[in-house]
Amino acid sequence: MPNRREFLSYPAVAMFAPACASAPELDSALGALANMGERAPEEVAADESAWRDIQQAFTVDRSQINLNNGGVSPAPRLVQEAHKRRLDFSNENSARHLWEILEPQKEHVREGLARLFGSDKEEIAITRNASESLENCLLGAALGRGDEVVTTEQDYPRMLTALDQRARRDGIVVRKLSLPVPCEDFDEIVRRFEAALGERTKLILICHVINITGQIMPVRRIVELGRRRGIPVVVDGAHGFAHLDFRRDDLDCDFYGTSLHKWLFAPHGTGMLYVRRERIRELWPLFAADAKQSDDIRKFEEIGTHPAAPLLSIGEALLFHHGIGPARKEARMRYLRDHWAKRLLRNERVHLNTSLRREYSCGVANLRIDGLDMSKLRGHLWSEYKIYTTYIGPPLPAQTEGLRITPSVYTTLDELDRFCEAIETVLLEGLPA
């Protein structure tokens, strides 16, 4: 178990700790690490004593159970307090503090994100969310009338909306594949993508983890498929980054956009865009940038006056993430999913729109129950038990309808047991009329 001095020497966190985190906050992060030691991630994932400090590092309201962390996650106290300090500092002398003192510090955050993702810092833009990151790619790609983009029916609705707008405005063609639900055959996914590609295909959009079911996609194989044909692949990483333990080279992608307020636990309204260095010039930014910035990743950050506090407090979120450890975090997310899912699957009416096999999913899963209106079930869980979930339904594909359940590292097993008890009561008694 590293002491505080050793922890601060880690390359991934040393750049943030002295300037950004007070001793009590760092001690809290170390406390979360204290019981974990060097044991295997799967062993740590099942040790409740190892997660007690992590659970207490969040300021969530325990009178309710939030199982929609996939939408947006609360930040731990460490991040919140750093954010508040910087917000106060920003308002002491806004013009000077924002532009002369705080803005230059963003380069340290850029480097920290690059280290975690496994890229050069000159390939990382700091954005406000995955939508902004990905729309830079989808709206900034050079596409003309008749050019085709291949994606799936299960991609994030806002991204499909962006492509549909390009179809209306520019005359592009959007091909949306149907995918099995759940899918336990990567070969089949690759075959469907390959069959959809044609001479006019100019871009592929694929999720790293599909947000509505938690399905992990064979990203590297799709990237290789596209590269053989000279077709760029844009990866929607909103549910992959800081959830799965991976590096850029595991995917070998050229474009990757994500939110940081989901699984990294950064302040709300923070995101990241990765563009491989040699492809920066070809991509037009959403907001106009000077011609001299054509090869500069920072051209995607030219959004006008914006707050510095949330962007710089990504640093504390990185500190917290590394304090847990990416492999341990992924293992814990899968452990929490299995805790509730395997219990409920004992009932023959319960089904998952998500595979439980390790290579196909992690902490996100989609639940459906024969004979129940899943939209009404969501409302009942909240009104009767104060359990907050996400309904997946029309206009999304019919085979994905259900409740998306996304606990997080602060979720306790008792909370998941209460969720299971609520579902079991409904299975026995039905929903109220």
- The CATH number for 230's domain is 3.40.640.10
- Supply the range of the domain harboring residue 286: 101-316
Structural domains of the chain, count: 2
H or E, element range at 391: strand 390-392
Residue 22 pLDDT greater than 60, yes or no: no
Residue 24 pLDDT greater than 80, yes or no: no
Q: State the average pLDDT for the chain.
A: 93
Backbone angles phi, psi at 158, to 5 degrees: -65, -35
Cα-Cα-Cα-Cα dihedral sign, residues 292, 294, 298, 300: positive
Q: Are residues 205 and 312 in the same domain?
A: yes
Percent of the residues in the chain that have a pLDDT greater than 90, as a whole number: 90
Q: Are residues 125 and 153 in the same domain?
A: yes
The reported pLDDT for the residue numbered 6 is: 43
Q: Are residues 217 and 127 in the same domain?
A: yes
CA gap 20, 149 in Å, rounded: 43
Q: What is the DSSP letter of 73?
A: -
The answer as to whether 302 is a domain residue is yes
Q: Is 49 helix (H, G, I), strand (E, B) or coil?
A: helix
The answer as to whether 31 is a domain residue is no
- Domain end marker among 316, 349, 368: 316
The reported pLDDT for the residue numbered 8 is: 46
Nearest 10 degrees: Cα torsion 322, 357, 45, 21: 20
The answer as to whether 322 is a domain residue is no
Mean pLDDT of all residues in 368-388? 98
Give the pLDDT confidence of 270-328 residue by residue, as tens digits: 999 999 999 999 999 999 999 999 999 999 999 999 999 999 999 999 999 999 999 99
The reported pLDDT for the residue numbered 26 is: 55
Nearest 10 degrees: Cα torsion 159, 296, 114, 52: -50
Q: Are residues 311 and 339 in the same domain?
A: no
Write the single-letter amino acid at 376: K
Residue 18 pLDDT greater than 50, yes or no: no
Q: Are residues 229 and 267 in the same domain?
A: yes
pTM for this prediction: 0.93
The reported pLDDT for the residue numbered 354 is: 98
Query: Tokens standing for 420?
Result: 């299971």
Q: Are residues 211 and 274 in the same domain?
A: yes
The reported pLDDT for the residue numbered 288 is: 95
- Domain end marker among 316, 347, 362: 316
Measured CA angle at 155 (ends 145, 68), to 5 deg: 150
The reported pLDDT for the residue numbered 50 is: 87
Mean pLDDT of all residues in 213-221? 98
Q: Is 243 helix (H, G, I), strand (E, B) or coil?
A: coil
Q: Is 201 helix (H, G, I), strand (E, B) or coil?
A: strand
Q: Are residues 306 and 402 in the same domain?
A: no
Residue 23 pLDDT greater than 80, yes or no: no
Q: Are residues 298 and 337 in the same domain?
A: no
CA gap 149, 198 in Å, rounded: 10
Within 8 A by CB and 6+ apart from 426, the residues are 369, 372, 377, 380
Residue 3 pLDDT greater than 70, yes or no: no
The answer as to whether 41 is a domain residue is no
The answer as to whether 242 is a domain residue is yes
Residue 197 pLDDT greater than 50, yes or no: yes
The reported pLDDT for the residue numbered 38 is: 79
CA gap 299, 280 in Å, rounded: 9
Residue 12 pLDDT greater than 50, yes or no: no
The reported pLDDT for the residue numbered 32 is: 56
Write the single-letter amino acid at 138: L
Residue 132 pLDDT greater than 90, yes or no: yes
The reported pLDDT for the residue numbered 9 is: 43
The reported pLDDT for the residue numbered 358 is: 96
The answer as to whether 30 is a domain residue is no
Give the pLDDT confidence of 138-192 residue by residue, as tens digits: 999 999 999 999 999 999 999 999 999 999 999 999 999 999 999 999 999 999 9
The answer as to whether 58 is a domain residue is no
The reported pLDDT for the residue numbered 37 is: 67
Measured CA angle at 273 (ends 222, 166), to 5 deg: 70
Q: Are residues 125 and 258 in the same domain?
A: yes
The reported pLDDT for the residue numbered 147 is: 98
Residue 5 pLDDT greater than 60, yes or no: no
* Residue 337 belongs to domain with CATH number: 3.90.1150.10
Backbone angles phi, psi at 175, to 5 degrees: -105, 120
- Domain end marker among 273, 296, 316: 316
Q: Are residues 245 and 332 in the same domain?
A: no
The reported pLDDT for the residue numbered 433 is: 84
Q: Are residues 312 and 340 in the same domain?
A: no
Q: Are residues 198 and 344 in the same domain?
A: no
The answer as to whether 57 is a domain residue is no
Give the pLDDT confidence of 226-284 residue by residue, as tens digits: 999 999 999 999 999 999 999 999 999 999 999 999 999 999 999 999 999 999 999 99
Backbone angles phi, psi at 81, to 5 degrees: -70, -40
The reported pLDDT for the residue numbered 36 is: 65
Residue 365 pLDDT greater than 90, yes or no: yes
